Amino acid sequence: MSEERASFGSKLGIIMATAGSAVGLGNIWRFPYMTGKNGGAAFILIYIVCVIVLGIPCMISEFIIGRHGAANTARAYTRLSNGTIWKLVGYLEVLTGFLITGYYAVISGWCLNYVYASVMGELNGDPAFVKNYFVEFSQDPIRPVFWTIAIFAITHFIIIHGVRNGIEKASKLMMPTLFVLLLVIVVAAWMLPGASKGIDFLLKPDFSKVNSDVFLGALGQCFYSLSIGMGCLCTYASYFSRHTNITTSAIQIGFVDLMVALLAGLMIFPAAFSVGINPDSGPSLIFITLPNVFNQAFSGAPLLGWAVSLMFYALLFLAALTSLISLHEVNTAFFYEELHISRKAGAWIVTVFCCIIGALCSISIGHKSGLSLFGLDLLDLFDFVTGQLMLPVVGFFMCLFVGWYIPKQIVIDELTNWGTLKFSFYKLFIFVMRFVCPLCILAIMLHQFGVI
Ligand code: PHE
């Protein structure tokens, strides 16, 4: 391993930065909705099994590749594959990260706008007003682009300060803030009249809703939520030290990610149920349903409503920002190492190109822009191509790479920190990477295209 390569300074820094990548919009806007739709606690149980059986082993695999490759994701794969065709998986991970960065920034920019709108009290009004606010904002040709650029400016600023002074410092500040905000909002939501109905709904297992869709939904959610297959885990692992225990780190990060997702559910459902609104999914949940919930739930205490709304969007913004930083870093590391330029120059390339992608995605949402491909606006298109096509393909080959291709000794060395740690599940781990994970991912893909 090269001596000068940047590294994280502490164990806490590693957990905070990597959990920062994992904890994102997927935890807050997708998980609660999936749980509500797919049988409450029954879904949560299946999800937990997916995280343990598939998510954590895949995370460990990305850590193995990243730490052993000690370079950006593309070069790490190239090194471990001795330049054979397997290196394409690394390049594909970088490309997926690149494409996701642009559109993830657009949604993150929306969150930032809503922080601003909360501060200014712009979201107060009846449901029709709130809906109209979102439609007008998201279709405006300028405002969302402005916020996308603003969020890139913040990300860029953090990235150019390097791994330890930028990413690690920022994560150590932002992640604890995020937890505190989350806990405060959960408590505020639970104090609302009728909140217990929401908790009951979320925690009551309904096994009658469990079918193959639910299993595959849990699997897809688990991969997305843990940031598997986009180079983020691999890139961050290249900054781990030789003493980092990658197995326990993966377990801790998986646990934090799960806790945030559960707490998000325990915040959104009680609040929504207390005013009799059924939570929606995706953008409409975050940007239309929830402002209404806050307005109605706290109509008797407007100042509290103002504070909760502000805290919620700040929480969302932090969750999105730490994920965006990890996506940006995948590409920054790629450009500066492959083009032999400075870190700053690499970061500029990513920022400029991703700003352009983000701006195009943002503009294409407006009805009149005419900017679309295959009948989808660019935001949906990027989401589909990366999330539903590229991610599973990359994940599938990553499992085969670790399970079948790379020398077993490398896996053993990485799991035991060159013989200094005990790791008794080696055979089980290899079995999971060889058979269980690839077959499950294959099932997700076939299911997505209606084959099974
Ligand atoms: N894991 C993030 C979330 O839950 C999404 C993400 C995926 C972020 C990949 C970075 C990289 O929202």
User: What digits encode the pLDDT tens for the residues 207-239?
Assistant: 998 888 888 889 889 999 999 999 999 999 999
Please give the number of the atom of ligand 1 that sits closest to the Cα of 23: 4
With the most atoms of ligand 1 within 8 angstroms of its CB, the residue from 321, 322, 323, 350 to mutate is 323
- The residue among 145 and 30 whose pLDDT is bigger is 145
First vs last C-alpha separation in the chain: 45
- Residue that is written with structure tokens 């590409």 in the block: 331
Sign of the CA dihedral with 63 first, then 67, 72, and 77 last: negative
Please give the number of the atom of ligand 1 that sits closest to the Cα of 27: 4
Specify the length of the chain in residues.
452
Task: Examine the pLDDT at 338 and tell me if it is beyond 90.
Answer: yes
If pLDDT is split at 50, 70 and 90, which confidence band does 445 have?
confident
- The residue among 1 and 83 whose pLDDT is bigger is 83
The residue among 131, 17, 101, 2 whose CA lies nearest residue 63 is 17
pLDDT number for residue 370: 63
Instruction: Kindly state the tokens that stand for 355.
Output: 């700003």
Element (DSSP H or E) covering residue 372: strand 372-373
Distance CA 139, CA 145 (A): 10
Around ligand 1, the residues with Cβ closer than 6 Å are 21-22, 24-27, 224-225, 227, 230, 232, 323, 326-327
Q: What is the Cα Rg of the chain in Å?
A: 21
Distance CA 48, CA 303 (A): 38
With the most atoms of ligand 1 within 8 angstroms of its CB, the residue from 96, 151, 221, 224 to mutate is 224
CA distances from 441 to 65, 210, 222, 446 (A): 19, 19, 11, 9
With the most atoms of ligand 1 within 8 angstroms of its CB, the residue from 18, 21, 228, 236 to mutate is 21
Residue type, 185: I
CA distances from 452 to 36, 444, 449 (A): 24, 9, 8
> What are the chain's domains?
11-406 (1.10.4160.10)
What digits encode the pLDDT tens for the residues 373-386? 777 777 778 877 88
- DSSP class per residue in 194-250: THHHHHHHHHS--GGG-SHHHHHHHHHHHHHHTTTTSSHHHHHHTTS-TT--HHHHH
pLDDT number for residue 347: 98
Let me know: does 415 contact 421? Beta carbons within 8 Å.
yes
Distance CA 233, CA 230 (A): 8
pLDDT (average), residues 132-138: 92
